Amino acid sequence: MSKRYFEDLELGETLEMGTYTVSKAEIMDFAEQYDPQPFHVDSEAAAQSSFGKLIASGLHTMAITQRLSVDGLYNDAHGLGSPGLGETEFRKPVYPGDELTVTLEPVRKRPESRPNAGLVELESRTRN
């Protein structure tokens, strides 16, 4: 498949990015390095929390979402990087063993000030 350009992404289409199963070991590894709150790194403390057991850092879920999106789209496109992220909601906890499925939907496109560049705003959903 030839790499995709700005023009090739259609507003409203749903792009399937595949699935990723997150293990307890990976949840703890990520959290020990980047988000060592008790409910992410300590099973006993997590059992006492409102979540009932260990949950993945929200940033870890975002990182997994990014990985699937890179493999599924960004590395097959002529991407120039991202200027940021819109609002992110953590609607449900992610527990060890959960299988995450990511979809992307182009929701807005506009030309950029740089020549031959455009901005595509993607709505990303990560389902459990």
Q: What residues from 15 to 74 belong to the interface with its own copies (CB under 8 A)?
A: 33-39, 49-51, 55, 57-59, 62-64, 66-67, 70-71, 74
- Biggest CA-to-CA distance, the chain: 55
Closer of 22 and 106 to its own copies (Cβ): 22
Q: What residues from 89 to 128 belong to the interface with its own copies (CB under 8 A)?
A: 89-90
Q: How far is the CB of 65 from its own copies (least distance, A)?
A: 9
CA-wise closest residue to 19 among 57, 63, 58, 65: 65
Q: How far is the CB of 116 from its own copies (least distance, A)?
A: 12
What dihedral angle (degrees, nearest 10) is formed by the CA atoms of 67, 71, 77, 82? 0
Q: How far is the CB of 6 from its own copies (least distance, A)?
A: 15
CA–CA dist 82, 70 (Å, integer)? 12
CA–CA dist 107, 37 (Å, integer)? 34
Closer of 75 and 128 to its own copies (Cβ): 75
Q: How far is the CB of 51 from its own copies (least distance, A)?
A: 7
CA–CA dist 72, 58 (Å, integer)? 21
Q: Are strands 99-111 and 15-21 parallel, antiparallel or unpaired?
A: antiparallel
5 binds its own copies (CB under 8 A): no
Q: Which residues contribute to the site for its own copies (CB under 8 A)?
A: 33-39, 49-51, 55, 57-59, 62-64, 66-67, 70-71, 74-75, 79-90
